[in-house]
A and B are shown apart, each in its own frame.
Chain A
Amino acid sequence: MILGELNQLRDREIQSRKKITLRCCMAAGCVSSNSKGVFEALQKAVAESGLGNEVEVRGVGCMRLCCEGPLVSVNQDGAEDSLHVRVTSENAASILAYLKGGKARTTRVDAGMPFFKKQMSIVLSNSGIIDPERIESYIAVGGYSALHEALHEMTPAEVVSMMVQSGLRGRGGAGFPTGLKWDTVAKSPGVAKYVICNADEGDPGAFMDRSVLESDPHRVLEGMSIAAYAVGASQGFIYVRAEYPLAIARLQQAIKQSKQFGLLGAGIFDSQFCFNIDIRIGAGAFVCGEETALMASVEGKRGTPRPRPPFPAESGLWGYPTLINNVETFANVAPICRHGAAWFASIGTARSKGTKVFALAGKIKNTGLIEVPMGTTLRTIVEDMGGGAPEGGRIKAVQTGGPSGGCIPVEHLDTPVDYDSLSQLGSIMGSGGMIVMDDGTSMVEIARYFMEFCMDESCGKCIPCRAGTVQMHRLLDRIARGQATAAHLARLEELCEMVKSTSLCGLGQTAPNPTLSTLRFFRGEYEALLQPEMPGNEECLAGVSGQVS
């Protein structure tokens, strides 16, 4: 493949476009609401109406408003005309009648509503527009031109310095500066180097990575290729959860197509650069989201973490320097290459650049995917875009960061969303799961729920996490059942601090976060459940001594 061929492919794909496009969402959320049936019904209706020359039915990735799926968007002459929601295979054909000036029997929503209008798309710019199963569709929107530019017009060091200047920080949760990581790997000596894409999106309530992989897999492959060129790697792995079968299938297909087109393999774009990507399928262990555990799993071992340093950037997969980035981080690479570091650095806040994709879910009207510039307030996200709590409920808290994060109470909704503001509130940005809770949700229950999660998922390697999570869960369970005293609560807080400061990896170090943050903002709920300490209450007091049984 050379640039001329790439441009030819792009032009041919653009020319083959028809006047009207019906985009039908084929991401996992809508597929489970029978969007495949809708897609087939649309195709059949187009064929029957004889509009085949004017109308194209295209299966696309996530269109974001997941709660209203299956979604069908009608586009005429390149502009969005209308968005139909909860389409069924029965009423899909009426969309064609609507095109002819008739009446559609489907429900339509305003595509100009704040949920869509306040979004800013970088990572999701192709999501819901291109067909994720065809590489030509990605090339038509300028795909792989960034890789060509990096390979032919930039040195690896220039690519790294561009990433440093862009100010991009890791989207997996911790927010480590991406450029710095690339720089360390690039400078580490090693006969072999590896690039790993962390798609083990284990946080319950987060589905951004799944959507990116299902909607725009080539963007991730392109980002990984640019990263490999910058750090000098020739082999990449994508570690993806087994729970995402559709994402795995789309990735496999994308890799196959890239190889066919010479965009993966040897001598990419007639250069000296060789790069291959293999998929590694996870097997349901949350701890594998931690980078050292993930590498153990890629090597086919039990996914247990190891102490750092040495960091993966120096000694990672099989002891070689390894670059590990999240899906969303890689998805940001190609746009940065295309538009420049300065463009990216102009978006967001002083210390958090660019946009962030959130998976909005829980007790909120509009659930789905949103991408907003860093620094957008939680209130904008939850109230304007999310539409507030459904059926007259009142929002109580927003949970970010999954089992490693915390609950942000409604009083703090004016907090801008960036790495630093969220950590000041005892939560973390996390990978982007945002779960809204209303009055009906007990905070003690939520703390217990997350502790149970961490207890189950603890790999058992280090004692603070293995034993500590069990004890903290017992104490939380006791409090929730109304069988605890103030002494239990004090013991719980003591344990939280201990586990936080002594655990080996991120799982244990952050396991107490949901408990600590709910204690900080909703202490009253805990105290209301406590029993008075008095003689004759021995049954209650048993267990405070903390023996393991």
Chain B
Amino acid sequence: MKIATMRNEAEGRRVMQHASGDKRFKILEVFMKKYQFRQDSLIEILHKAQELFGYLDDDLLLFVSYKLKLPPSRVYGVATFYHFFTLKPQGKHTCVVCLGTACYVKGADKVMSAIEAELKIKAGETTPDKNISLLTARCIGACGIAPAVVYDGTVSPRATPEGVLKTIKQWTES
């Protein structure tokens, strides 16, 4: 990990900072401070880290473990246990297809196979040009408007293979 030891002149004590100088580490640290660097806030902090960086790489996980004084194994263990955390960079756009029961019986599997055929990637993968990531969700609670697809964080109701491909085409062409 690229941690640099710096002297905080004002307070006269040593402080640890991330050597990259990336401001997002500073933001993350302020967030951790809000939680008083409590070890039980690990999941909250990983949420914030993923929000800032898009994914959790080894360096970032080491930074969190260092700051919370937790063994890296614990941080890595938590990051890999929960589906919400991703350790790989995501594409520019994300397309999440809900595969909850209600969406499934209403044909979400057909929507899914249409996208897989169009983009030539499987669920959980990103296109080689890093443009689109295709993800699945277990249930986003939008069962009343099934099947639901989430484009870049916006839920879209009553998806059909044709409608989804139209949006995907807009992304690939732009």
- The interface residues of chain B lying within 8 Å CB-to-CB of A299 are 40
Interface residue total, chain B, C-beta cutoff 8 A? 39
Complex interface bits, B140-152 against A, C-beta within 8 A gives 1, otherwise 0: 1111111010000
A312: Cβ under 8 A from any B Cβ:
no
A368 and B47 form a contact (CB under 8 A): no
The verdict on A206 contacting B43 (CB below 8 Å), with A66-B144, A242-B84 known, is no
Complex interface bits, B70-101 against A, C-beta within 8 A gives 1, otherwise 0: 00001001100111110000000000000111
Docked pose: A201 CA to B143 CA in angstroms: 13
Complex interface bits, A263-295 against B, C-beta within 8 A gives 1, otherwise 0: 000000000000000001111111000000000
Range for the number of chain A residues in contact with chain B: 35 or more
Determine how close the nearest CB of chain A comes to the CB of B28; give it in whole angstroms: 16
- The interface residues of chain B lying within 8 Å CB-to-CB of A204 are 99-102, 104, 138-139
Interface CB pairs A-B, < 8 A, 20: A28-B155, A33-B145, A67-B145, A203-B139, A204-B104, A207-B139, A242-B47, A280-B43, A282-B43, A282-B84, A283-B46, A283-B82, A284-B83, A303-B81, A359-B144, A362-B101, A362-B106, A367-B146, A441-B105, A449-B104
Within 8 A of A (CB), among B29-74: 38-44, 46-47, 74
A526: Cβ under 8 A from any B Cβ:
no
B19: Cβ under 8 A from any A Cβ:
no
Contact of B141 among A210, A368, A457 (CB under 8 A): A210
The verdict on A29 contacting B138 (CB below 8 Å), with A242-B84, A363-B106, A449-B101 known, is no
| Closest chain A residue, CB of each to CB of B154 | A32
Determine how close the nearest CB of chain B comes to the CB of A285; give it in whole angstroms: 5
Count: A-B pairs, CB below 8 Å: 140
Docked pose: A67 CA to B144 CA in angstroms: 5
Contact of B144 among A207, A300, A302, A303 (CB under 8 A): A207
Complex interface bits, A414-447 against B, C-beta within 8 A gives 1, otherwise 0: 0000000000000000000101010001000010
B102 and A205 form a contact (CB under 8 A): yes
| Closest chain B residue, CB of each to CB of A514 | B101
A373: Cβ under 8 A from any B Cβ:
no
The verdict on A207 contacting B42 (CB below 8 Å), with A433-B101, A435-B101 known, is no
| Residue in A210, A283, A285 whose Cβ sees the most chain B Cβ within 10 Å | A283
Using CB atoms and an 8 Å cutoff, list the residues of chain B in contact with chain A. Answer: 38-44, 46-47, 74, 77-78, 81-85, 99-102, 104-106, 137-146, 148, 154-157
Docked pose: A283 CA to B41 CA in angstroms: 13
A402: Cβ under 8 A from any B Cβ:
yes
A298: Cβ under 8 A from any B Cβ:
yes
Determine how close the nearest CB of chain A comes to the CB of B7; give it in whole angstroms: 31
Docked pose: A325 CA to B12 CA in angstroms: 49
| Residue in A300, A362, A367, A450 whose Cβ sees the most chain B Cβ within 10 Å | A300
